[in-house]
Amino acid sequence: MQLYSMPSSGNSLKVRILLALTGKPVQIIDCDYGSAALAQAKADGVLPYGKVPALVLDDGQLLAESNAILWYLGEDSAFVPADAVTRAQMLGWMFWEQYNHEPVIAVRQALVSYPHRVADATPERLADLLDRGHALLQVMEDRLAHHDWLAGDMVSLADICLYGYTCTAGSRGGFDMDRFPAVCRWLDRIAAMPGVLDA
């Protein structure tokens, strides 16, 4: 398999983490913003929606969207709960990540990290994203204050999915992670899993 991945992207990171945790062999092709590799990937038609991550399977079929790739790679693994209700709860967190968490947590990180986004980083927008992001992190805190994992009693795709941008929420996004001790303990649990920090 080949994974087209942006090194600084949380959406790419979570796919790399699951690949590391499952031990699936893959060739990773780094596609930084504005790079020749990204332009070539678009020209070659291997990015179905024009963005990374994208996974090219051994038979040449293409998969896009990070959470869809997670679902494919996680199928029949311990990262997908066997119980139907817990599995649906896991999917709920994954949908919430893309619809609520990522558009705030990841966007604020992008605005303060990428030079090409600086024009959009107005003080008003950054302040709004900060407030909204803290409210979203509180949703996670409320769950993780009483549970080790987001869905069920074991690590699942939901945890890998939410780790992608939460792990850099403080360092890149400026969110006050001291307000969320349970989230920080959860981040440490995931980071301690074999291969995660090297992904």
Q: Give tens-digit pLDDT for 145-156.
A: 999 999 999 999
Condensed to tens digits (0 to 9), the pLDDT of residues 163-193 reads: 999 999 999 999 999 999 999 999 999 999 9
- Please give the average per-residue pLDDT across 1-30, as a whole number: 95
Per CATH, is 84-191 categorized as 1.10.10.10? no
Condensed to tens digits (0 to 9), the pLDDT of residues 91-144 reads: 999 999 999 999 999 999 999 988 888 889 999 999 999 999 999 999 999 999
Name the segment(s) of the chain with CATH classification 1.20.1050.10: 84-191
Name the segment(s) of the chain with CATH classification 3.40.30.10: 2-74
| pTM for this prediction | 0.94
Mean pLDDT of the chain: 95
Q: What is the pLDDT of residue 32?
A: 86
- Residue 27: φ, ψ to 5°: -100, 125
CATH class of 2-74: alpha beta
Query: Any residues with CB less than 8 A from the CB of 16 and at least 6 apart, and which?
Result: 3, 5, 28, 199
- Residue 10: φ, ψ to 5°: -65, -35
d(CA 61, CA 83): 30
DSSP state, residue 28? E
